[in-house]
Amino acid sequence: MPVCSSCSATTQPEWKFCIYCGEPTSADAARPTPLAPRRTNPLAILAIVLAAIGGAPALIFGHVALRQIKQTGERGFVMAIIATVLGYAWLVVWAVLLISLLTNGR
Ligand SMILES: [Zn+2]
């Protein structure tokens, strides 16, 4: 009598799946291999952290991350987009701040 490799319950040969835990019991019932867990692009994380603390370089890292994600299929696409947009926003904020500082100094 076959035994489930996952929960050790006794299974029937005609079962394709263990009725107790859902583990496939025969080779032809093997479930499609789940996609390997995709890692998150590290530059996208760096970019979002920079964006969160007001760092304009987030837009540079965001752009590089987006390019890498398109090539590698890594996660973090939305993260990189947000970081890039925030990076541009911070660039404008810092530019306005700098200009107003310079003009007030006169
Ligand atoms: Zn089982």
Average pLDDT, the chain: 88
Q: Is the pTM of this model over 0.85?
A: no
Place of tokens 């496939």: 24
pLDDT of residue 93: 95
Residue 28 Cα to ligand 1 middle (Å) = 16
**R_g of the chain, CA atoms, integer Å:** 26
Got the DSSP string for 1-30?
--B-TTT--B--TT-SB-TTT--B-SGGGP
Residue 22 Cα to ligand 1 middle (Å) = 6
**pLDDT tens profile 55-94:** 989 999 999 999 999 999 899 999 999 999 999 999 999 9
Q: Domain residue spans in the chain?
A: 1-33, 42-104
